[in-house]
Structure 1
Amino acid sequence: MTRQTRTVTKTPWTAPLATGPIHGAVRLPGSKSMTARALVLAATSLDTSTLRRPLRARDTELMATGLRALGAQVSTDDDELWTVRPRPPRGPAHIDVGLAGTVMRFLPPVAALAEGDITFDGDPRARQRPLKPLLDALRALGVKVTGDGLPITVHGQGRVTGGEVTIDASQSSQLVSGLLLAGADFDQGITVRHVGPPVPSAPHLRMTMEMLRAAGAGVDDSVPDVWQVEPGKLSGRAWTIEPDLSGAAPFLAAALVTGGEVKVLDWPRSTTQPGDQLRILLAAMGGSWTLDTDGLTFRGTGNLRGLDADLSQVGELTPVIAALCALADGPSTLRGIGHIRTHETDRLGALARELSKVGARVDETEDGLHIVPGKLRGAVFETYDDHRLAHAAAVVGLRVPGVELTDVGCTSKTMPEFPALWASLLGAGS
């Protein structure tokens, strides 16, 4: 099988220094997690669906392209409204997952429903990300799969019997979500039973179940670590995608660091997004917030307290929170995040190295970080092709002059607008 390569042009960037308290408002792009799930559900439904205010970024474009390769008609011409017309999945086809965990874990179960061979490959780092538990689960359901990690081939037979399967999803909740999103099309539906250490990022599993229910699936998650989807056809519908709350992390952090005030427009009053925990975590570090019909307003004093927190359910927030800990007035301990070693990069190792470069003392533990602030200085901050490492560097750069990112272009994975949004926010209030 031919391995894929991608030519990457890096965009060096000097993080802007804040010259005073930041006051402004930001409208974030749509949630990556919701956009990805809505695309898959729309492509496997009976009739047409629309996605209002979806995220247009590398991950979601790869998902749309992958679904087109399987036969769905996905129109993304209008930034504000995407349209998906489902078709029975078919092969042969090749799917490029890039570095997107959602694509590499959500689409193989859909490919199992196609007739023909579907190959998957992606960026070099994607080949190191956990996939084997999902593939073993598919094999246990009778699906023939070649390979235990990218590149792989799913040899679709046009149907999957389904039934009950056991999986160790302690490395990623996406391993479960991928099975559930396709499960209604399996002859017997699917029951997924997790056995092993706790599943991280449980809010994402709740999101999967709620969106399946909204599409008309019969679901049951009343038993801990067991998720059931009954067989049946899903209904097309109009999805309205929430703002990406995890993407709000650097913007809310800017208010905290500078003693300013930042409003994130259209923050939902009720959501399954893990990013909703930002308001609680950042308040514990010294900020305050209010939520009204316009959105969430976060206020800082410029003084940051250290944090002792279990981030197991919100691991994607770790990079920005770790950056704030490096700027705090005392030591911090972040726990429960050993699983983020297998994200876009080894985020624990990367944060330890890069925050140490700028002057913090960072000790890696088995499942987290211990961070002691120091006299901070400018440095070249390696971003490791990881959007959230770039966000962390930008936050440090608010207070520390001379923080130079090796590549701000990696933010296009989930927020292509990040450099412009950041510059606009600082220009409005600093």
Structure 2
Amino acid sequence: MIFLSVLSMPLSLWFLGPSVKYVLPLFEVADSGFWGYHLFDMKRTLYPASIWGQVEIPASKSQTIHALLIALFARGVSTITNPLICADTEACMDFCTKLGAKLTYSDRTLVIDSTNLTPRDGIEVDCKNSGTTLYFATALSCALGNEISFTGDESLKRRPARPLLSSLHDLGANVDRDADTAPYSVCGPLLGGHTSIRCMTGQYLTALLLASPLAKQTTTIDVHLLQEKTSVRMTEKWLETQDIKFFRDDNMKHYTIGGGQSYKPLQKDINGDFSLAVFFLCAAAMTGSTITITRLDPKSSQADRDILPILKRMGCVIRSDGHSVTLTGPTSRLKATDVDMRGIQDLLPALAVTACFASGPVKLINVSHSVVKGTKERSSTIAQAINSLGGQAQVLRDSIIIYPIQAFSGADCVDSYGDPRVAMAMALASLKCTKPLTIEGCECLDSTFPSFFDKFNSVSLAH
């Protein structure tokens, strides 16, 4: 990334308050093809408030990365409107440009020209903190005949990759089979054949499903321990839109994907991200307020749309016109209801904070998978944060029990632990604190939702 000098562009800086250093606006750097906001050494102080109004949530990160990678391997010109621009999607764009694609961005439209890709041996891809980019790009790179190396930040280097690499080896690719995590290198071709994979994360299976159509022969996959079925179904919809031929059984335990297929250029509008919208929906739920979120499809294939029936069970009223969602929280306490987090672990931080204001204890079960999703074991992290604020969260082997409180009255400063969802969950907590709350380490939001605090403050009504 090449950063523009702060001193050379004073009129274009966006200043976000005394605790924020600087945010660079949207820009293009000609020799790297990157766009985005960049946060530095950031902490924020928030005050007790209610949530009220209307907000547009950024596009889905997963959908944006799906679109980018399909466009890359379509060998043509594709158009993506309303993509999410953040550090994670920039990591994916970096991968695209290093393979020779030309990317241009203007008026919320991203054009990808992959007509003349120029992959070569020795390409090094830094996926930063993007596990989605790491896993998907690793598998798709095996469809090429070039050695490509992958690495990432310290958090990404802790995410397990061996199950995916072993399956790619089964399918004919040359990989660092003994590597547990990045850094590692892979090299095609991808031949096809049979593999069996234990899905600690659904991203393993999604990566194989995206790459297998490009293999020379048919691929069969036996799937074990898949929890994130909804997110895999989203990938299946992408394959269907691309006319990719595949078969699976009803239990999603066996897949057959025809080889020798190809992707075609696409024109795709990316809807809002439910995994980001959840923080605004939960904010209204726990404060008895009303929020409308635009560009949000209630029938989306995104796994985290499951937040809607969960909050409805807790007593919220939800309305939709097909293009937006309006939620009103109850005037009394939320109803206590246990929640199975299988496949929706990204909802854990927001739901854990929200559950503090239910009518009784709330048990969040099947949370152990969160160790793969976050910067450290997310269940322990969010419980530690809640307890430091004066809440009551008990971590068990595969669940968390949240006990009801009236308000947070503990520490006046809390750490994000480098996890953007924990940072946003602490913003939720600030709404029900008895005093101002300072959140440290908010630069982690650069990877997921750089404009979160702007959006959050725009609908906050201070008490």
Q: Does the pair score TM above 0.5?
A: yes
Alignment-derived partner of residue 228 in structure 1:
256
Q: Which residue of 1 aligns with 2:17?
A: none
* Residue 116 of structure 1: how far off its partner (Å): 2.9
After TM superposition, give the deviation of residue 8 of structure 1 in Å: 8.9
Equivalent in the alignment of 1:391: 424
| Matches of 1:248 and 1:8, distance apart in 2 | 21
Which one of 405, 409, 429 corresponds to residue 377 of structure 1?
A: 409
The alpha-carbon distance between structure 1 residues 223 and 278, as it changes in their structure 2 partners (threshold 3 A), is closer
Cα pair distance change 1:133/1:91, threshold 3 Å: same
Within 5 Å, which residues of 2 pair with 1:183-222?
Answer: 183-195=212-224, 197=225, 199-222=226-249
* Count of equivalent residues: 416
Q: Deviations over 1:208-264 (max 9, x none)?
A: 111011122112233422233222111111011111011011111121122111001
When residues 62 and 252 of structure 1 are mapped into structure 2, their CA distance, relative to the original with a 3 A threshold, is same
Q: Which runs of 5+ in 2 are unaligned?
A: 1-37
Q: Once the 2 structures are TM-superposed, how far is the Cα of residue 112 of structure 1 from its aligned partner? A: 1.6
Displacement of 1:13 in angstroms is 1.1
Task: Indicate the residue corresponding to 2:390 in structure 1.
Answer: 359
Q: Return the alpha-carbon distance in structure 1 between the equivalents of residues 250 and 305 of structure 2.
A: 25
* 2:14 equivalent in structure 1: none
Distance in 2 separating the partners of 1:88 and 1:235? 18
User: Quick check: 2:416–2:440 contact (8 Å CA) kept in 1?
Assistant: yes
* Counterpart-to-counterpart distance in 2, 1:151 and 1:173: 18
The letter for the 1-side match of 2:42 is T
Tell me which residue corresponds to 1:98.
128
1:49 aligns with 2:83: no
Structure 1 counterpart of 2:329, from 284, 296, 300: 300
* Preserved contact between residue 112 and residue 154 of structure 1 (Cα < 8 Å): no
Select between 265-274 and 34-43 the one with higher mean Cα deviation.
265-274
Runs of 4+ with deviation above 4 angstroms:
none
Query: Please, which runs of 5 or more residues in structure 1 have no aligned partner?
Result: 1-6
Percent sequence identity is 25
1:3 corresponds in structure 2 to: none
The separation in 1 between residues aligned to 2:146 and 2:135, in whole angstroms, is: 19
SS in 2 for 1:110: helix
| Residue in 2 that maps onto 1:81 | 109
Contact 2:64 2:83 in 1 (8 A): yes
Question: Which segment drifts farther, 237-246 or 141-150?
Answer: 141-150
The Cα shift of 1:308 comes to 0.5
Match of 2:146, SS? strand
Three-state SS of the structure 1 residue aligned to 2:74 is coil
Letter in structure 1 aligned against 2:273: D
Q: What is the Cα-based RMSD across aligned positions, in Å?
A: 1.9
**Correspondence 1:130 to 2:142:** no
For residues 119-158 of structure 1, give each alpha carbon's deviation from its aligned partner in whole angstroms, at most 9, with x where no partner exists. 111111111112110011111112221251343333424x
Distance in 2 between the 1:409 and 1:79 partners? 26
Q: Distance in 1 between matches of 2:106 and 2:208?
A: 30
TM-score norm. by structure 1 comes to: 0.92
Match of 2:47 in 1: 16
Asked whether the equivalents of residues 316 and 328 of structure 2 are also in contact (C-alpha less than 8 Å), the reply is: yes
Shift in Å, 1:73: 2.4
TM superposition shift of 1:294: 4.4
TM-score under structure 2 length normalisation? 0.86
Distance in 1, Cα, partners of 2:298 & 2:256: 28
State the one-letter code of the partner of 1:402: P
Letter in 2 for 1:73: K
Q: In structure 1, what is the equivalent of residue 69 of structure 2?
A: 40
Change (3 A) 1:120 1:294: closer
**Equivalent pair of 1:106/1:177 in contact (CA under 8 Å):** yes
Matched with 1:181 is: 210
Question: What is aligned with 1:109?
Answer: 139
State the match for 2:182 in structure 1. 151
How far does the alpha carbon of each residue in 1:275-299 deviate from its partner, in whole angstroms, 9 at most, with x for none? 2111111122221101114411000
* Superposition pairs of residues 233-312 of structure 1, within 5 angstroms: 233-302=262-331, 303-312=333-342
Q: CA 1:294 to 1:223, structure 2 compared with 1: closer, same or farther past 3 Å? A: closer
Amino acid aligned to 1:216: D
